[in-house]
């Protein structure tokens, strides 16, 4: 295991800042009517993919969910094309026909975004199996929520991955809520890592809001998968700092717990850590934040200035060959 350098910690924090700045800008646009899209907050979950992205290669595969903007950014999907896709524009990763819940960008290894809870895991195990058969050295990372651990497909996928020892990392982003239901109201398991360890793969819980802890866990899991050591299940402990989706309430959430999580939210927390424990200067961080702010604004301008796909392209890219029309 290599020690986390200040350069690596700063790269991870920059990715977190890009994610947070992009979300803040989208929320501002949605609130004012400037933007229209479905949006699932990733606020509070930034450190997980930012640390994972630091240890992945461009050709590695990633699978994510509707709550996946942070994963897309961390995997290296170009911000302009990502925002254009989310805005339904022809310059987007899928020419604006996928939208925010179906982002895919094979050029950067972001293979699938799915709205089907638990649906990503079998796809990821298939991708990892293809890498094992081809011997291409790629690792697949699949992100999913805590609620997805109550779906049958999740268990089928983890079981087969452990049996076949394919190069996959299961990243459970445990934000303590499945839609409007809190963790303790849908399972008696205290620890998902302990429950999934019984399938016979490496499994551990990690502080998903710490750059240092997440980077160490990600590096270990990715190195193990790449070297043929088999899959890992990471239960990344975090907290959803808002309602399920844009416009939905938080009234069913515990207000004290939410306030405590907000006080320890990962962007501010890791910024404090970089200054206090890593000796990074405020000037360095301020400059980075200003650069990111400008980059996000310019990417959004690109997206806003792009055209939607033309009506005559309605059926293009939908099927590999158009099926004959029924009579």
233 binds, among ligand TPP, Mg ion, none (CB under 5 to 8 A by kind): none
Question: CA dist 142 to 61, 157, 170, 234, 280, Å?
Answer: 8, 11, 5, 10, 32
Least distance from Mg ion to the Cβ atom of residue 239, Å:
10
- Closest to Mg ion by CB, 29 vs 266, is 266
Nearer to Mg ion, 80 or 235 (CB): 235
* Cα 181 → chain centroid: 21
Tell me if 94 sits within 8 A of 77, measured CB to CB.
Answer: no
Q: Report how far apart, in Å, the C-alpha atoms of 259 and of each of 106, 224, 246, 322 are.
A: 39, 37, 19, 52
Q: DSSP E strands: which ranges in 106-237?
A: 110-114, 140-145, 168-174, 177-178, 181-182, 202-207, 232-237
Considering the complex, state which of residue 88 and residue 178 has its C-beta at the smaller distance from Mg ion.
178
Token pair for 168: 């996959």
235 forms part of the interface with Mg ion (CB under 5 A): no
Binder of Mg ion out of 175, 202, 210, 224 (CB under 5 A): 175
Rounded distance between C-alpha atoms, residue 201 and residue 292, angstroms: 38
Q: Are 243 and 41 in contact (CB under 8 A)?
A: yes
Q: Kindly state the smallest distance separating residue 28's Cβ from ligand TPP, in Å.
A: 22
CB nearer to Mg ion: pick between 155 and 271: 155
CA distances from 61 to 57, 72, 216, 223, 268 (A): 9, 11, 20, 14, 30
Rounded to a whole number of angstroms, the minimum distance from the CB of residue 23 to Mg ion is: 17
67 binds, among Mg ion, ligand TPP, none (CB under 5 to 8 A by kind): ligand TPP
Q: What residues make contact with ligand TPP under the rule CB under 6 A?
A: 67, 115-117, 144-148, 175, 177-179, 240
Segment 114 to 173, residues that bind Mg ion, using CB under 5 A: 145-147
Kindly state the smallest distance separating residue 117's Cβ from ligand TPP, in Å: 4
Q: Which residues, other chains included, contact 324 with Cβ-Cβ below 8 Å and sequence gap of 6+?
A: none
Number of residue whose CB is nearest Mg ion: 145
Give which of Mg ion, ligand TPP, none residue 148 binds (C-beta under 5 to 8 Å, depending on kind).
Answer: ligand TPP
Residues in contact with Mg ion, total (CB under 5 A)? 6
Burial tier of 86 (Cβ tally within 10 Å: 0-12, 13-18, 19+): buried
Question: In the complex with Mg ion, which residue's Cβ is closer, 90 or 187?
Answer: 187
CB 177, min distance to Mg ion, A? 5
Residues that bind Mg ion (CB under 5 A): 145-147, 175, 177-178
């Amino acid at each position: 295991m290599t020690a986390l350098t200040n350069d690596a910690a700063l790269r991870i924090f920059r990715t977190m800042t890009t994610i947070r700045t992009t979300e803040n800008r989208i929320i501002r646009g949605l609130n004012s009517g400037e933007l229209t899209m479905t949006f699932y907050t990733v606020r509070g979950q930034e450190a997980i993919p930012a640390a994972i992205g630091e240890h992945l290669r461009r050709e590695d595969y990633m699978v994510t969910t509707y709550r996946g903007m942070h994963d897309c950014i961390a995997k290296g999907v170009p911000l302009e094309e990502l925002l254009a896709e989310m805005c339904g524009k022809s310059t987007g990763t899928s020419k604006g026909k996928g939208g925010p819940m179906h982002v895919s960008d094979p050029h950067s290894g972001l293979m699938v975004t799915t709205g089907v809870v638990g649906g990503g895991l079998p796809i990821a195990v298939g991708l990892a199996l293809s890498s094992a058969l081809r011997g291409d050295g790629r690792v697949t990372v699949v992100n999913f929520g805590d609620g997805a651990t109550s779906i049958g497909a999740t268990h089928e996928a983890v079981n087969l991955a452990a049996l076949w020892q394919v190069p996959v990392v299961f990243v459970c982003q445990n934000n303590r809520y499945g839609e409007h239901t809190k963790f303790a109201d849908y399972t008696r398991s205290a620890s998902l890592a302990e429950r999934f360890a019984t399938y016979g793969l490496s499994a551990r819980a990690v502080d998903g809001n710490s750059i240092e802890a997440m980077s160490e866990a990600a590096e270990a899991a990715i190195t193990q998968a790449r070297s043929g050591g088999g899959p890992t299940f990471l239960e990344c402990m975090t907290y959803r700092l808002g309602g399920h989706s844009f416009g939905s309430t938080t009234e069913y959430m515990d207000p004290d717990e939410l306030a405590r999580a907000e006080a320890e939210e990962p962007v501010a927390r890791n910024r404090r850590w970089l200054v206090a424990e890593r000796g990074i200067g405020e000037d360095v961080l301020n400059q980075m934040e200003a650069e990111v702010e400008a980059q996000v604004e310019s990417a959004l301008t690109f997206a806003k200035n792009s055209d939607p796909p033309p009506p005559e392209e309605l059926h293009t890219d939908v099927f590999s060959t158009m099926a004959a029309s029924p009579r």
